[in-house]
Amino acid sequence: MEFLASMAVVLVTGLFIITFNLQAFEIPSSSMENTLLIGDHVFVDRITLAPRTAWTGPLLPYRDLRHGDIVVFLSPVQPGLYLVKRVIGLPGDRIHLQDGVVYRNGERLSEPYVNRTCDDITVFCYSPYRDNFPTVPTTYGGNVTAEWGGEIAYHIQGGDLVVPPDSYFVMGDNRNVSYDGRYWGFVPRGHVIGRPMFIYWSFETPHDQYQKTGVGDRVLFVLKVVVHFFDQTRWRRSFQMVR
């Protein structure tokens, strides 16, 4: 009985932590390369960025989002879809890009984490809208949502995009391919889930794997993981902190 009671405590504690403190996510796209790769599995801290409460405030290390934080959030344009990007603009910040370089409040940002490779024929090294946002009209943006196309003008002042209250402007580290705030707007504070802490497992995964949603495709991928677990696991990425 003592053994069963101990196991029950462990299981309940683990369930509580997974439900309220940590959440596991899998990276499905290349928008955050090389910081996060397709096939990286991360644990997300749901506590630190959660809204502060009166009774837990002194006990838990709550804090506001900061420039450069990587966050997991619910997509503002596709219900139920989780995304991961880097926070570039906080409320009140003025943002613009010039030839792919980000300027915040008039200062050029140093972003050593940014990946600007364009060795794929589908990736253009220069795109007027993508690289000179928001001065170039959204009609040149290609994948800009209709809602953002009609709203963006209200947030532009003097060639800068001004981040409204309780919202954030985010971008992917893989700037040439990232489908981010340039195309669909701001992330409301209430959509933020948490901050990725570390990679607990990483497996070499084809870029188009997560577009294959059929049962047969999923079964084949599971079999691939079983067969190639040891030789295609990226062991060096295991337990790396996400920054």
Better-scored residue on pLDDT, 15 or 198:
198
pLDDT at 120 over 90: no
Q: What is the mean pLDDT of the chain?
A: 87
Pairing of strands 40-45, 156-157: unpaired
* pTM of the entire predicted model: 0.86
Report the run of H or E that residue 223 belongs to, with start and end: helix 215-232
Task: Express each pLDDT in 167-185 by its tens digit.
Answer: 999 999 999 999 999 999 9
Residue 138: the pLDDT is: 92
Residue 23: the pLDDT is: 86
Q: Between vectors from CA 113 to CA 109 and to CA 117, what angle results, nearest 5°?
A: 105
Distance from the Cα of residue 72 to its chain's centroid: 5
Nearest-angstrom CA–CA distance, 101 and 82? 26
Give the 3-state secondary structure of residue 17.
helix
Q: Which residue has the tokens 């943006």?
A: 141
CB atoms within 10 A of CB 243: 10
Q: What's the mean pLDDT in 18-35? A: 83
Task: Express each pLDDT in 57-115 by its tens digit.
Answer: 555 567 889 999 999 999 999 888 899 999 999 999 999 999 999 999 999 999 999 99
Report the run of H or E that residue 129 belongs to, with start and end: helix 128-131
Give the 3-state secondary structure of residue 232.
helix
Residue 147: the pLDDT is: 95
* Domain architecture of the chain: domains with CATH: 21-237 (2.10.109.10)
Pairing of strands 160-162, 187-188: unpaired
DSSP per position, 77-100: SSTT-EEEEEEEE-TT-EEEEETT
Task: Express each pLDDT in 9-22 by its tens digit.
Answer: 555 555 555 555 77
Nearest-angstrom CA–CA distance, 161 and 163? 6
Give the 3-state secondary structure of residue 131.
helix
pLDDT at 149 over 90: yes
Both tokens of 92, joined, read: 């009140």
Return the amino acid letter for 209. Q
Contact 95, 102 (CB under 8 A): yes
pLDDT at 35 over 60: yes
End-to-end alpha carbon distance in the chain: 45
Contact 84, 180 (CB under 8 A): no
Q: Is 216 left (phi over 0), alpha (psi -120 to 50) or beta?
A: alpha
